[in-house]
Amino acid sequence: MPKSTPSLRGVFLGAVATLALAGSVLAGDIKINEAYARSSGAKAKSGAIFMEIMNTGDKADQLIGASTPAAKKAELHTHIEDANGIMKMREVEGGFAIPAGGMHMLARGGDHVMLMGLTGAMLQGGTVELTLQFEQAGEVTVMVPVDLERKPMKHKHNADN
C-alpha cells in the first residue's frame, strides 16, 4: 500500500515532535503546556514549577501529588493573603481540580508545585524531571526546563503592558 506510507510517516513524526517539546506532555486526556521551573538563585533551597494543565476529556480530574528527583519533597501550594495583607504560601490539601474540557493554571503568585530541599542548584538551561499524580490520568512525567528569566505572566487583555 504505497499510498498510505507517507501519511503514516507524517503522523509518526508529528508524535515525536510533540514529545520532544520541552515543558509539554500529552498523557491521556491531560495535556501539560509551557511548564517551567525557577528558584531565587544558585543557593536557593527551594524552587517552584508553573504550567498550564488542560483536561481534554469529559471527566473532571484532580492533580493530587507531585514528585521529582530534583528535590526532597514536592508539594502542591497556593498563595493566600493573611489577616495583615501579607501573601503566604500554604499546601493545598486534596490538590487542584482540573475541570472536564477545561484547564487550571499554575502561575506566579497563585497555585504552584513547590520543590523543597533542592538536591542541586537550578541553573538556567537545565531541566527538572517532574512526575505529577492525577486521580484519573495517573502519573504524568514532564521534563521541565529551568527558566530563571521568564517574567510573571501578564493578562492577555492588558494590552498596554
Residues forming the site for Cu ion (CB under 5 A): 77, 89, 114
CB 128, min distance to Cu ion, A: 15
CB 82, min distance to Cu ion, A: 15
Instruction: In whole angstroms, give the CA distance from residue 130 to residue 51.
Output: 12
CB 51, min distance to Cu ion, A: 14
**Contact (CB, 8 A) for 70 and 119:** yes
> Closest CB to Cu ion among 38 and 77?
77
CB 35, min distance to Cu ion, A: 16
For residue 68, count CB atoms less than 10 angstroms from its CB and return exposed for 0-12, middle for 13-18, buried for 19 or more: buried
> Closest CB to Cu ion among 58 and 82?
82
Instruction: In whole angstroms, give the CA distance from residue 12 to residue 55.
Output: 23
C-alpha dihedral, 108 to 112 to 118 to 122, nearest 10°: -40
> Closest CB to Cu ion among 26 and 44?
44
CB 53, min distance to Cu ion, A: 17
> Closest CB to Cu ion among 6 and 152?
152
For residue 98, count CB atoms less than 10 angstroms from its CB and return exposed for 0-12, middle for 13-18, buried for 19 or more: buried
Backbone phi, psi, residue 84, to 5°: -95, 10
> Closest CB to Cu ion among 114 and 130?
114
20: Cα separation from own chain's centroid: 16
